[in-house]
Amino acid sequence: MISHPDRVLIFDTTLRDGEQSPGCSMTQPEKLRVARALAELGVDVIEAGFPAASRGDFDSVTAVAREAQGPIVCALARCHDEDIELAARALAPAQRRRLHVFLATSAIHRQYKLNMAQEEILRLAAAGVARARELCEDVEFSPEDASRTELEFLAQVVEVAIAAGATTVNIPDTVGFTVPDEFAELFRYLRKNVRGIEGVRLSVHCHDDLGMAVANSLTAVVAGARQIECTINGIGERAGNCSLEEVVMALKTRAAFFNVTTGVNSSRLYPTSRLVSSITGMPIPRNKAVVGENAFAHEAGIHQHGMLKHHSTYEILRPEDVGLSRSHLVLGKHSGRHAFRERVQALGFELDEAEFNRVFEEFKALADRKKELFDGDIEALVLRAEGSAAGPWQLIELATETRSGGVARASVQLRHTDGRRVERSASGDGPVDAAFKAIEAATGITVALRKFEVQAVSEGEDAQGEARVYVEYNRRSYRGASVSTNIVESGTRAFLEVINRIEQAQAGTRPRESQAAATSA
Ligand code: KIV
Ligand code: ZN
């Protein structure tokens, strides 16, 4: 008898656990862009944030709840009435909503973090789930650090959560400690020993500290999990979470083995991955599975020979399956709107008319400076189109002077939205350093530079350089990025983006930066 594949729900937590990666915090408009992309990708659940963490988180959850069409919108809460009520309020505008309550259960967390006995944990878990159920039909419960919890006690906690009304039980490998065989055993143990477990959806949530988040999530599916919690590009606390694109493509490519399906439209994976990378400033490693630049590159002669005979010799996924339609089509200043629109669409971007017009104008301006424009240039134009941290400062003019062996000088002219125009010069160790110092002098904000990197986004001698700047200011991390054919200019603009993020944070117009609110119970 042929068994029909079961559906595995894809629960995306890029906006919650992903945003907890150092330096990955997002503004509300950025979160909305990601939420739209996730809905288009076809995820089942979007975990939009942790409303009790900050006012910014609360507002972002509400904004996503208002906007998201299709996916369930979920908010995280500790097993405290105030957290749960706040999360329920933040979710109020959602068409479909879920409350996700969590409480740590392992001996380590009980002793060092919570200072609570097992009985107290059981009582709090039951009370938290029951309160959440009063406010929402769809309630998920997570015993944090489940994989390091004594099995018998874990089974008791899960049982009380189910009895109190949990509809999904999520098993987190919070510190990425487990290994596939052991984790599958844990799921089998719970399925055998917990009363009522057959009536709830089992979920898995893995971190990647030992590089096994995807493998552990897949093994949980084999052992009965029917929801996977994951993030785009695997971003998240420390080494990150299970990567959505990898786990989805593993289930799809090895469908005959897993016998399950997801609702994800895999051709949206690559554009979504690029969008999240661009917004969070977290680059995608070249050799990253599924969406890395080298994922479909064949270097060795013997491989190239095989590929020419038949792609299946060395490729188990096709670039088109994940939405990567790279071409060597080159656009230039004579390319018209039609050709540009076709290329933008082939790269997986949907722009409304106003956005398209703005990007097309920028394309024309760039084509005047750069002979040939490649896919990487077009991606950079589109992804930067919304200028995530636009203002209050704007760069009006930049001039640099540099001589080999001597100090460099830079002058900047900036305009503030409050009407100020400021001009400052500074010298430094190279033109970029001088420009950063001139901006600090002009804005009165002095930061500790942690990292500055430049990467070509396309091919050719006149390739555009994407500059990324990472700084610390008042014990918080900030980042900025910019693209230009002139790397001193892209570095300067990236630095100014950092200053703008700091000013916005100070003015309270941005949610917290990377010092993510602790999710400890
Ligand atoms: O890693 C973890 O345990 C979590 C829970 C809050 C689900 O993120
Ligand atoms: Zn987590």
CB-based burial of residue 115 (10 Å sphere; 0-12 exposed, 13-18 middle, 19+ buried)? exposed
Find the radius of gyration of the CA atoms of the chain. Answer: 25
Q: Which atom of ligand 1 is nearest to the CA of 104?
A: 3
- DSSP states of 440-507: HHHHT---EEEEEEEEE-SSSTT--EEEEEEEEETTEEEEEEEEESSHHHHHHHHHHHHHHHHHHHHT
Q: In which band, very low, low, confident or very high, does the pLDDT at 348 lie, cut at 50, 70 and 90?
A: confident
Calculate mean pLDDT across residues 142-152: 98
Query: Which is more confidently placed, 367 or 399?
Result: 399
Identify the nearest ligand to the CA of 204 by its number.
1
pTM, two decimals, is 0.84
Judged against a pLDDT cut of 90, whether residue 476 lies above it is answered with no
User: What pLDDT sits at residue 11?
Assistant: 98
* Residue ranges of domains in the chain: 10-280, 325-386, 393-507
Q: Which atom of ligand 1 is nearest to the CA of 102?
A: 6
Q: Which atom of ligand 1 is nearest to the CA of 170?
A: 7
Judged against a pLDDT cut of 50, whether residue 342 lies above it is answered with yes
Q: Coil, strand or helix: which one is 329?
A: coil
Judged against a pLDDT cut of 60, whether residue 438 lies above it is answered with yes
The alpha carbon of 206 and the centre of ligand 2 are apart by a number of angstroms equal to 7
User: Do 74 and 140 meet the contact criterion of CB atoms below 8 Å apart?
Assistant: yes
Calculate mean pLDDT across residues 264-277: 94
Query: Which is more confidently placed, 518 or 189?
Result: 189
Out of 114, 171, 519, 520, mutate this one to test ligand 1's pocket (max ligand atoms within 8 Å of CB): namely 519
Taking the C-alpha atoms of residue 290 and residue 284, their distance in angstroms, rounded to an integer, is 11
Calculate mean pLDDT across residues 84-101: 98
Of all helices (H) and strands (E), which one includes residue 83?
helix 81-91
**Helical spans, DSSP H, in 105-149:** 107-108, 118-135
Calculate mean pLDDT across residues 19-24: 83
Q: What is the residue with the minimal CA distance to atom 1 of ligand 1? A: 174
Percent of the chain with pLDDT over 70: 94
Taking the C-alpha atoms of residue 185 and residue 162, their distance in angstroms, rounded to an integer, is 20
Tokens of 371: 């002979």
Q: Coil, strand or helix: which one is 409?
A: strand
Out of 174, 228, 230, 231, mutate this one to test ligand 1's pocket (max ligand atoms within 8 Å of CB): namely 174
Out of 102, 149, 209, mutate this one to test ligand 1's pocket (max ligand atoms within 8 Å of CB): namely 102
Calculate mean pLDDT across residues 236-264: 97
Tokens of 209: 């500290």
User: Do 502 and 470 meet the contact criterion of CB atoms below 8 Å apart?
Assistant: no
- DSSP states of 178-220: --HHHHHHHHHHHHHHSTTGGGSEEEEEEB-TTS-HHHHHHHH
Taking only the tens place, the pLDDT of each residue in 373-392 is 888 888 888 876 554 456 79
Lowest-confidence pick of 14-23, 43-52, 157-166, 386-395: 386-395
> How high is the mean pLDDT of the chain?
90
The alpha carbon of 16 and the centre of ligand 2 are apart by a number of angstroms equal to 9
User: What pLDDT sits at residue 252?
Assistant: 98
Taking only the tens place, the pLDDT of each residue in 282-326 is 889 989 999 998 888 766 777 777 777 777 887 889 888 999 876
Q: In which band, very low, low, confident or very high, does the pLDDT at 519 lie, cut at 50, 70 and 90?
A: very low
Calculate mean pLDDT across residues 359-379: 85
Cα separation values, 412 from 40, 240, 465, 489, 493, Å: 41, 38, 20, 11, 11
User: What pLDDT sits at residue 385?
Assistant: 59
Judged against a pLDDT cut of 70, whether residue 512 lies above it is answered with no
Superfamily of domain 393-507: Alpha-isopropylmalate synthase LeuA, regulatory domain (3.30.160.270)
Q: Residues with Cβ < 8 Å from 225, sequence gap 6 or more?
A: 8, 171, 187, 202, 203, 204, 217
The alpha carbon of 391 and the centre of ligand 1 are apart by a number of angstroms equal to 35
Calculate mean pLDDT across residues 5-20: 95
Q: Which atom of ligand 1 is nearest to the CA of 519?
A: 6
User: What pLDDT sits at residue 327?
Assistant: 61
Judged against a pLDDT cut of 50, whether residue 48 lies above it is answered with yes
User: What pLDDT sits at residue 326?
Assistant: 63
User: Do 97 and 137 meet the contact criterion of CB atoms below 8 Å apart?
Assistant: no
Q: In which band, very low, low, confident or very high, does the pLDDT at 517 lie, cut at 50, 70 and 90?
A: very low
Q: Which CATH architecture has domain 10-280?
A: Alpha-Beta Barrel (3.20)
Q: What angle do CA 517, 505, 27 make, to 5 degrees?
A: 70
Percent of the chain with pLDDT over 90: 65
Pocket (CB within 6 angstroms of ligand 1): 17, 102, 142, 144, 170, 172, 174, 205, 207, 519
Q: What is the residue with the minimal CA distance to atom 5 of ligand 1? A: 144
Identify the nearest ligand to the CA of 235 by its number.
2
Residues lying with their CB under 5 A of ligand 2, a single-atom ion: 17
Q: What helix, strand, coil percent values describe the chain, rounded to 5?
A: 45, 20, 35
The alpha carbon of 475 and the centre of ligand 2 are apart by a number of angstroms equal to 23
